Amino acid sequence: MDGLPKLIGPLPGPRARAIIERDARVVSPSYTRSYPLVAERGEGAIIEDVDGNRFLDFSAGIAVVATGHCHPRVVEAIQKQAARLIHMSGTDFYYEGMAALAEKLAEIAPGEVPRRVAFGNSGAEAIEGSIKLARYATGRDKIIAFFGCFHGRTLGALSLTARKAVQRGHFGPLLPGVVHAPYPYCYRCPFGRQPEGCAVECVKHIEDTLLKTIAPPEETAAIVVEPVLGEGGYVVPPKKFFDELARVAQQNGILLIFDEVQSGMGRTGKMWAAEHFDAVPDILAVAKGIAGGMPLGATVARADLMTWPPGAHASTFGGNPVCCAAALATIALLEEGLMKNAARMGAHLMDRMREWPARFPHVGEVRGLGLMIGIDLVRDQRTKEKAPELRGRVLRQAFERGLLVLGAGDNAIRLCPPLVITRDQCDFAMETLEECLR
């Protein structure tokens, strides 16, 4: 499959329209679709739809296919394992793949501390396991999360999520004991401060308000945070935020849970976003890019915390043999060069996009780490008024030109391509987005 898009007819094509009509009759209307792409097959960073149109995928299946669509080594690992053993359930039996993957995750997790791993099937399950473990290990029940963060849609994870009203609406009551603090979205600092001051004020709100009023330290099990805000807008906090957060957590015996579901697995140019800030979580939630597109999640915790007894936590399909094989192949590819490529291509993109606020009046800020980049669209650069309708137009126009991008937050465009992306593909994406912005 060629490395650049090729459109052969109007979008959506006839086969795509027919499938969309079938989908509308039987699939849950709760799914969000920004434009009418009906995927048929993928290779690397290219997706082909059911009518033969080829697109450059700068969404990577929502940051999932880190190694690209259908990477030959991942496919081979899946095929070999599927021919030997598809399922046995690691909750009741043993198999080597699960132990090998747990060893690898313990080895590469941030900080040089012993780790244990509990497997699930998704990011939401990894968060659910993190909540349960934090409560079990501390004997405390309250959790502090952040406004703007997204942690999943199962009820426990949804209780931490504070992104959109529609995500929580009509599902209450949710998990009790969860309170939220402002996230250091420094471009729009809730305290009107510059980045360093914004970071400090966000933690001071936890220390001086939450811990002294509704979440006393002796009742607070954990603080849960995305090291880079994902669904909330691809926002990168200052390092000072993590320094202050670690100080408050350590002083009060509170655990730090990092949700690296979207920011992990090499996306930022390092294995974990936490590494950019020299931050070490007590518990790490992992999913999305972990297994080359296969469903897998993991709760990776300090070994001295994960001491719960048999039966306390498990998942029938979590750590499935095929998914474990895919994950081991994925991690090997990341370590062999894809992480470095993410750093190189991310720098190449940022070198060009750094000037966009000066060139395009509706670009307020471009921010990111590696191949996790957000473009903040505004009606007015001075007032920073958000422009969600403009974002929608850009997404649709990019699709019509053969580029797949998605939104994040109310008004940002997220760029999260596969880590196999090439310089030519990056240039095509930049030229396409510039044409849309013009």
For the chain (length 438 residues), average pLDDT per consecutive 10?
90 97 97 95 98 98 97 98 97 96 98 96 98 98 97 96 91 95 93 87 96 98 98 96 98 98 98 98 98 98 98 96 98 98 98 96 97 98 96 97 97 98 98 97
Q: Using alpha carbons only, what angle is made at residue 300 by residues 173 and 102, rounded to the nearest 5 degrees? A: 135
Q: Which two tokens stand for residue 338?
A: 């894809």
pLDDT in the model for residue 309: 97
Cα separation, 132 vs 130, whole angstroms: 6
What is the 3 state secondary structure string of 284-350? EEECHHHHCCCCCEEEEEECCCCCCCCCCCCCCCCCCHHHHHHHHHHHHHHHHHHHHHHHHHHHHHH
pLDDT in the model for residue 76: 98
Residue closest to 144 by CA, chosen among 222, 208, 259: 222
Cα separation, 142 vs 177, whole angstroms: 4
Strand order in the sheet with 178-181: 115-120, 297-302, 283-286, 255-259, 220-225, 142-146, 178-181
pLDDT in the model for residue 315: 96
| Contacts for 226 with CB less than 8 Å, ≥ 6 apart | 146, 149, 150, 151, 232, 258, 259, 260, 262, 263
The separation between CA 271 and the C-alpha centre of its own chain, rounded to angstroms, equals 13
Cα-Cα end-to-end distance for the chain: 30
Q: Which residues pair with 41 in a beta bridge?
A: 48
Q: Which residues pair with 6 in a beta bridge?
A: 54
Range 88-334 has CATH code 3.40.640.10: yes
pLDDT in the model for residue 22: 98
Cα separation, 167 vs 30, whole angstroms: 10
Burial class (CB in 10 A: 0-12, 13-18, 19+), 212: exposed
